[in-house]
Structure 1
Amino acid sequence: MKQRIAVLGAGPMGLAVAFQLARDGHQPVVFEADDRIGGMTASFDFSGLTIERYYHFHCISDEAFLKVLDELAIADKMRWTETKMGYWYQGQLQPWGNPMALLKFQGLSLAAKFRYGLHAFLSTRRNDWQPLDQVEATGWIKRWVGEEAYEVLWRRLFDYKFYDFSTNLSAAWIWSRIRRIGRSRYSLFREKLGYLEGGSETLLRALRADIEKHGGEIRLNSPVGKVVIEEAKVRGIETDGRFEAFDKVISTVPLPYVPSLMPDLPSSILQSYRSVNNIAVVCVIVKLRQAVTENFWLNTNDPDMDIPGLVEYTNLRPLDRHIVYVPFYMPGEHPKFAEPDQIFLDKVRRYLKKINPRLSDEDFIELRASRYRYAQPICDPGYLDKLPPAALPVEGLWAADTSYYYPEDRGISESIDFGRKMAREATA
Structure 2
Amino acid sequence: IHELGLGDKLAWLESKVGLYHGGTIWSFSTPMDLIRFKPLSMLQRLRVGWWTFVLQKTRNWRKFEDITAKDWLVQHMGAEAYRVIWEPLLRGKFGDYYDKVSMTWIWGKIYLRVASRGKGLQKERLGYPMGSFGEVFDVLGERVSQQGGEVHISAGVNRILVEDNSALGLEVQLPDSEPESRNYDAVIATTPSYIFTRLVSNLPDDYRDKLVNVQYLSAVLLILVMDRPLTDKYWISIADHNLPFVGIIEHTNMIDRSLYGGHHIVYLTNYPSRESELYQKSAEELMDELTPHLRRLNPDFELSWILEYHHHKVDGAQPIIGTNYSQRIPDHRTPIKNLYLANTTQIYPEDRGTNYSVRMGRQVARMVLEDAGEAVD
Q: Secondary structure at the match of 2:209?
A: helix
CA distance in 1, matches of 2:33, 2:298: 20
Give 3-state SS (helix, strand or coil) of 2:105's partner: helix
**How far apart, CA to CA, are the structure 2 residues paired with 1:140 and 1:173?**
12
Amino acid at match of 1:238: E
Aligned mates of 2:204, 2:15 — CA distance in 1: 48
Q: 2:143 aligns with which of 210, 222, 238?
A: 210
Report the Cα distance in structure 1 between the residues aligned to 2:306 and 2:332, rounded to whole angstroms: 46
- Structure 1 alignment gaps of length 5 or more: 1-68
Alignment partners' CA distance in 2, 1:131 and 1:157: 22
2:271 alignment partner, SS class: strand
Does 2:362 match 1:420? yes
SS in 2 for 1:299: strand
Question: Which stretch has the larger CA shift, 77-86 or 281-290?
Answer: 77-86
For residues 2-30 of structure 1, what are the alpha-carbon distances to aligned partners after superposition, in whole Å with 9 as ceiling and x for unaligned?
xxxxxxxxxxxxxxxxxxxxxxxxxxxxx
Which of 348, 371, 376 is the equivalent residue of 2:313?
A: 371
* Alignment match, 2:208: 270
Change beyond 3 A, Cα 1:314–1:154: same
Q: Which structure 2 residues correspond to residues 270-419 of structure 1 after superposition, within 5 A? A: 270-319=208-257, 320-419=262-361
Bigger shift: 411-420 or 132-141? 132-141
SS in 2 for 1:244: strand
Q: Give the aligned partner of residue 151 of structure 1.
A: 83
Mapped to 2, the partners of 1:267 and 1:391 lie a distance apart of 15
- Is contact 1:99-1:189 (8 Å) kept? no
Aligned-residue offset at 1:398: 0.8
Query: Which shows bigger deviation, 186-195 or 270-279?
Result: 186-195
Q: Say if 2:12 is the partner of 1:80.
A: yes
**What is the correspondence of 1:9-408 to structure 2 with a 5 Å cutoff?**
69-186=1-118, 187-240=120-173, 241-319=179-257, 320-408=262-350
What is the alpha-carbon distance in structure 1 between the residues aligned to residue 112 and residue 232 of structure 2? 22
Secondary structure at 1:243 match in 2: strand
Please list the CA deviations of residues 344-401 of structure 1 after superposition, one character each: whole Å capped at 9, or x if unmatched: 2123321222211122222111122100111111111122321331111111111120
Alpha-carbon distance in 1 for matches of 2:246, 2:114: 19
Q: Per-residue deviation at 1:322?
A: 0.9
In the superposition, the TM-score normalised over structure 1's length comes to 0.81
Aligned partner of residue 229 in structure 1, secondary structure: strand
TM-score (normalizing by structure 2): 0.91
Q: For 2:131 and 2:23, locate their aligned partners in 1 and report how far apart those are by CA, in whole Å.
A: 36
Structure-2 separation of matches of 1:375 and 1:415: 13
Q: Determine the C-alpha separation between the residues in 1 that align with 2:2 and 2:122.
A: 29
Kept after mapping to 2: 8 A contact 1:298/1:309: yes
How many residues align? The count is 360
- Same amino acid, percent of matched pairs: 28
Distance across 1 between alignment mates of 2:67 and 2:95: 19
Kindly provide the CA deviation profile for residues 22-71 of structure 1, in whole angstroms up to 9, marking residues without a partner as x: xxxxxxxxxxxxxxxxxxxxxxxxxxxxxxxxxxxxxxxxxxxxxxx111
Letter in 2 for 1:86: G
Q: For 2:195, give the aligned amino acid.
A: Y
In the alignment, the residues of structure 1 paired with residue 245 and residue 89 of structure 2 have an alpha-carbon distance, to the nearest angstrom, of: 8
**CA RMSD, Structure 1 to Structure 2 (Å):** 1.5
Between Structure 1 and Structure 2, which shows a larger proportion of strand residues? 1
> For residues 135 and 110 of structure 2, what CA distance do their matches in structure 1 show?
28
Q: How far off is 1:317 after superposition?
A: 0.7
Residue 173 (structure 1) shift:
2.0
SS in 2 for 1:327: strand
Aligned partners of 1:425, 1:203: CA distance in 2, in Å? 24
Quote the offset at 1:99 in angstroms. Answer: 1.7
Separation in structure 1 between the aligned mates of residue 283 and residue 101 of structure 2, nearest angstrom:
29
Structure 2, unaligned stretches of length 5 or more?
A: 174-178, 371-377
Q: How many Å separate the matches in 2 of 1:207 and 1:414? A: 17
For 1:388 and 1:103, the matched residues in 2 are separated by 42
8 Å contact 1:278–1:332 — kept in the other structure? no
Counterpart secondary structure, 1:167? helix
Residue by residue, what CA displacement relative to the aligned partner does 1:251-297 show, whole Å, maximum 9, x if unpaired?
11111101110012123322321111001111111111111111111
1:250 is displaced (CA, Å) by 1.1
1:295 counterpart SS class: coil
Distance 1:361 1:389 in 2: 49
